[in-house]
């Protein structure tokens, strides 16, 4: 009816639901369940079976994929990850996001920008989302180490994957998925040339990790170190048309 207030799924009411489990995690959860049942039913080894059953629940929880209400303001740059803001620093963007990659699409401009680092523990949702809507210009995987992803040097030494998205007005934003001490697999959902909406799922990192976001030059973050952010919902910064940003940077 006219004037009715609807929830994010177009319904007139709202209620708590169990979050969905991403398909990437179902196989791991089922393997853990099958293993625990083997020890419980076939071998009657409860001392191993019950801990494995608890581990199975943890695996399903790790790959949970809740719905998110994405801010629709064009200027909003939203968090690509759930977790804790552990670092905010002025740095040069990764070389892989700057150099000419032969695609005909320019990368990020040289010069220091603000990097916001978001650390994800094994208890956080690990589905990563697009900070802005636009066209995926680069997806660059870099093999590396698996040191603690809370450390600043993890941005340069750990296994990581860079993603560059170009907004419709030409604004480019890069972010990096970084594997951590426990995380051993970065799973992309997108490839160069794909069109993505703001807040769309673009990948995940298994079992604890970090995401670095490189804000456009001249953009101040709206988050602080120690703040907990939510992928697809928390606004990291606001930026208008790319021409305005270029003027500020000059």
CA dist., res. 103 & res. 138, Å (int): 9
Do residues 240 and 132 touch, judged by C-beta distance below 8 A?
A: no
CA dist., res. 80 & res. 186, Å (int): 14
Q: Any catalytic annotation for residue 209?
A: yes
From the candidates 103, 117, 209, 242, give the one annotated as an active-site residue: 209
In 111-146, which positions are buried (b, 16+ CB within 10 angstroms) versus exposed (e)? eebbbbbbbbeeebbbbbbbbbbbbbbbbbebeeeb
Do residues 138 and 103 touch, judged by C-beta distance below 8 A?
A: yes
Alpha helices in 126-211 (DSSP H): 154-157
Strands annotated E in the chain: 20-21, 64-65, 76-78, 83-91, 113-120, 127-129, 134-142, 160-166, 172-179, 186-188, 195-196, 201-205, 209-214, 228-229, 235-238
Q: Cβ neighbours of residue 45 under 8 Å, at least 6 residues apart?
A: 39
161, β-bridge pairs: 141, 177
Residues with catalytic function? 209
């Amino acid at each position: 009816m006219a004037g009715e207030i609807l929830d994010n799924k177009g319904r007139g009411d709202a209620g708590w639901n169990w979050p969905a489990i991403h398909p990437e995690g179902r196989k791991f959860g089922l393997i853990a369940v099958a293993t625990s049942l083997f020890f419980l039913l076939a071998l009657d080894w409860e001392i191993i079976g019950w801990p494995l059953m608890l581990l199975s629940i943890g695996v399903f929880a790790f790959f949970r994929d809740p719905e998110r209400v994405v801010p629709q303001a064009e200027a909003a740059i939203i968090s690509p990850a759930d977790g804790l803001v552990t670092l905010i620093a002025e740095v040069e963007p990764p070389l892989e996001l700057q150099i000419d990659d032969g695609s005909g699409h320019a990368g990020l401009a040289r010069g220091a920008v603000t990097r916001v680092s978001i650390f994800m523990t094994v208890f956080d949702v690990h589905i990563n989302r697009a900070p802005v809507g636009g066209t995926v210009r680069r997806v660059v995987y870099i093999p590396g180490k698996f040191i603690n992803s809370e450390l600043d040097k993890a941005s340069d030494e750990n296994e990581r994957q860079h993603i560059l998205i170009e907004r419709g007005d030409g604004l480019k934003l890069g972010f990096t998925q970084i594997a951590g001490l426990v995380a051993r697999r970065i799973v992309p959902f997108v490839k160069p040339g794909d069109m993505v909406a703001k807040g769309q799922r673009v990948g995940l990192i298994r079992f604890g990790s970090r995401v670095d976001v490189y804000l456009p030059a001249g953009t101040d973050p709206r988050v602080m170190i120690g703040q907990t952010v939510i992928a697809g919902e928390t606004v990291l910064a606001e930026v208008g048309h790319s021409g305005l940003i270029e003027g500020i940077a000059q």
